[in-house]
């Protein structure tokens, strides 16, 4: 993940709140797939309702998050400094980026969650069950969304069964053990200074992000350099979904991995839960054949997720990463 260099100043403009497209996943799949594709092209963000994640799974995960962040600092520190996994406060990542946030970053692997639960919760079994059930449910939702994207893009048509055409994206994240997906719990306490940055501007390096918050505003997106658009808090039942860098590469720039950030306020805490869907470290990332044409050849070089992750996590938030993998004119 990436944040802005604090020494890099530029004029900013804050516009009115934006109402992101809301996709009802119980509606006709062919219509939903078209709406999702359009949202990914225009905003890189959208919201989904009637998504099939049981309310009790969501509420248990949110309660565990609240319980964790309500602990004294000394107890939270027992989970170990985020390196990159574990508990972090104000310091974001390993490259000097800071923000008004505390967080718990977990690998979305049931076995690893079980091991780490011993250091995170006074009731490890309760925490383990809540996290693993939540991850299982949101991974299933992420796969459904990726299948709808593939359908809307017409991927794999003519290659055989419908399963071939729709699983070209979701197949990268279905493996529970080998994928590099993450779960991040964020807590933004209220601060006295107005318009303080909780988590600085960045794009998500993975394929797809599924985000939930406690209904408190703070998320902003930038569709134009220097212009920030607040995103209205989504309904209690909704997930906010955004395109990651990998998906931008695979769609040859058709889908946008948009810069975003989180702001804090002086009167209310904001909590969010983000699931970052990522492939295995050795997964090959490249433009999908159907989306490269003689008129628009592949914009990016082929790389593995491990190579891209290394590049992403060794740079500062806000620094460009995709440019490192762009094709040159004469490539």
Catalytic residues: 270
Instruction: Tally Cβ neighbours within 10 Å of residue 250.
Output: 24
Beta bridge partners of 91: 98
The structure tokens listed for 148 are 């709808």
**Exposed (0-12), middle (13-18) or buried (19+): which is 102, by Cβ within 10 Å?**
buried
Half-sphere exposure of 199 toward its Cβ, with a 13 Å CA cutoff?
30
Report CA Rg, the chain: 19
**Distance from first CA to last CA of the chain, Å, rounded?**
28
Cα separation, 92 vs 199, whole angstroms:
8
Cα separation, 165 vs 160, whole angstroms:
8
Instruction: Tally Cβ neighbours within 10 Å of residue 122.
Output: 9
**What residues have CB less than 8 Å from 289, skipping those under 6 apart?**
none
Please name the helix (run of DSSP H) or strand (run of DSSP E) that holds residue 46, with its range, or none. strand 45-49
Please name the helix (run of DSSP H) or strand (run of DSSP E) that holds residue 99, with its range, or none. strand 97-107
The structure tokens listed for 240 are 């906010």
Instruction: Tally Cβ neighbours within 10 Å of residue 49.
Output: 15
Q: Which of 329, 309, 320 is nearest to 94 (CA)?
A: 309
Tokens 């002086």, residue located: 266
Asked, as a colleague might, if the bond just before 60 is cis with ω within 30 of 0, I would say no
């Amino acid at each position: 993940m990436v944040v802005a260099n604090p020494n890099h100043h530029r004029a900013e403009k804050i516009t009115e709140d934006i109402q992101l497209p809301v996709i009802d996943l119980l509606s006709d799949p062919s219509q939903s797939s078209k709406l999702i594709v359009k949202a990914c092209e225009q905003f890189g963000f959208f919201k989904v309702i009637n998504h099939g994640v049981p309310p009790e799974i969501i509420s248990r995960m949110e309660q565990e998050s609240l319980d964790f962040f309500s602990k004294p600092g000394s107890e939270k520190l027992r989970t170990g400094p985020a390196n990159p996994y574990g508990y972090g406060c104000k310091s974001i990542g390993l490259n000097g980026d800071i923000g008004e946030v505390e967080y718990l970053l977990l690998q979305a692997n049931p076995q690893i969650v079980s091991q780490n639960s011993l250091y995170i919760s006074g009731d490890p079994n309760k925490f383990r069950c809540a996290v693993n059930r939540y991850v299982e449910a949101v991974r299933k939702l992420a796969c459904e969304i990726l299948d709808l994207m593939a359908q809307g893009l017409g991927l794999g048509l003519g290659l055989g069964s419908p399963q071939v055409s729709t699983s070209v994206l979701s197949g990268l994240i279905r493996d529970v053990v080998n994928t590099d997906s993450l779960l991040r719990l964020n807590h933004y306490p209220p601060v006295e200074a107005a318009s303080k940055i909780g988590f600085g501007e960045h794009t998500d390096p993975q394929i797809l992000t599924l985000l939930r918050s406690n209904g408190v505003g703070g998320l902003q997106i930038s569709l134009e350099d220097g212009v920030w658009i607040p995103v209205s808090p989504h309904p209690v039942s909704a997930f906010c979904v955004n395109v990651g860098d990998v998906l931008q590469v695979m769609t040859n720039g058709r889908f946008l991995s948009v810069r975003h950030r989180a702001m804090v306020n002086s009167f209310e805490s904001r909590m969010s839960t983000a699931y970052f869907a990522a492939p295995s470290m050795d997964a090959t990332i490249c433009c999908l054949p159907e989306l490269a044409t003689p008129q628009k050849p592949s914009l990016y070089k082929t790389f593995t997720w491990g190579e891209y992750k290394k590049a992403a996590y060794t740079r500062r938030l806000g620094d460009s990463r995709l440019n490192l993998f762009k094709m040159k004119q004469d490539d």
